[in-house]
Amino acid sequence: MQQLLAPIHGFLRCETPQTWIDIARAESSLEELLIDHCNCELKAAQTAMFLLRRYALSQDSGRSLLTWAKPYEEFVYLKDRNIEQFLARDVKKNELIASLQPNEHFKFAQDLIPPLIRLIKEEFHHFEQVLELMRARHIPYRNIRAGRYAKGMMSHVTTHEKDILRDKLIVGAYIEARSCERFAKLAPYLDAQLGKFYVSLLRSEARHYEDYLSLAQLVSPEDISERVAYFGEREAELIMAADDEFRFHSGQPL
């Protein structure tokens, strides 16, 4: 685990403060933690889908991707959701069967499609795994307001069109890296089942951060080190700042 986490710790500008861990490990926080974690997995998939549809896919393939993701979004956004029914659905009927065609006007389309499709599939799978854990613990899914973390990171994305994708990919790298770091921080304090699950997520989350970072450099004609450092400082500020609500990526609790 330490070998896996070493690049993550070198990438992030700060560790999760103990004050957050103390809140997250409390039994009273479990429901909020799992619901927000579930939402984070869905948002991670949606973010990758948006990038594919905006830059890398043809219009028809973009619509195919939306159709594939529809059951997940319907579950989250419809009020009459049913966890048992959703988890018991015939997944094979919802496979992404259509061959995804690249956007011929985007130079790096073929480079973005495979890693982001793999990421989307893994995030959706994690979403379902968290739902399974919630069902087993009799925790009903509900919509909760997103924390300020992702929005705070995205607020620093440039407005220059040619560099927007680069910045969004860097932001994605930091979100994935922080998720990985927090899974590792929390795992020792949780019950055996949940701790084992969080440890099992480390490898995929670490790879997601590396994929995002590699793609950010690929689409940028200049070295991205300075931009990566800039977002690293902003990310650390959000993590270390006082926060009045508990979320998976929230800062230090007031």
- pLDDT tens column, 109-132: 999 999 999 999 999 999 999 999
**CA nearest neighbour of 125 among 57, 72, 196:** 72
Per-residue pLDDT at 46? 95
Residue 190 phi, psi dihedral angles, 5° rounding: -95, 170
Per-residue pLDDT at 81? 87
Residues 65-83: what's their mean pLDDT? 88
Residue 208 has pLDDT above 80, yes or no: yes
Which amino acid would we find at residue 54?
A: R
Residue 155 has pLDDT above 60, yes or no: yes
Torsion region of 138: left, alpha or beta (phi above 0 gives left; psi -120 to 50 gives alpha): left
Residue 212 has pLDDT above 70, yes or no: yes
Which amino acid would we find at residue 232?
A: G
Find the length of the chain.
254
Least confident of 12-26, 91-105, 160-174, 238-252: 91-105
Which amino acid would we find at residue 4?
A: L
Least confident of 29-38, 96-105, 174-183, 207-216: 96-105
C-beta separation of 248 from 198 below 8 A = no
> Rg of the Cα trace of the chain?
18
Residue 199 has pLDDT above 70, yes or no: yes
C-beta separation of 110 from 101 below 8 A = no
**Alpha carbon of 131 to those of 73, 98, 137, 190, 249: distances in Å?**
14, 27, 10, 17, 19
Q: Is the pTM of this model over 0.75?
A: yes
Separation of alpha carbons 217 and 215, rounded Å: 5
Query: What stretches of the chain show up as alpha helix (H) in DSSP?
Result: 2-11, 18-24, 30-51, 59-77, 83-87, 109-136, 149-154, 161-186, 192-219, 225-240
Owner of token pair 């304090």: 189
**Residue-averaged pLDDT of the chain:** 93
Query: Is the C-alpha dihedral spanning 131, 45, 237, 9 positive or negative?
Result: positive
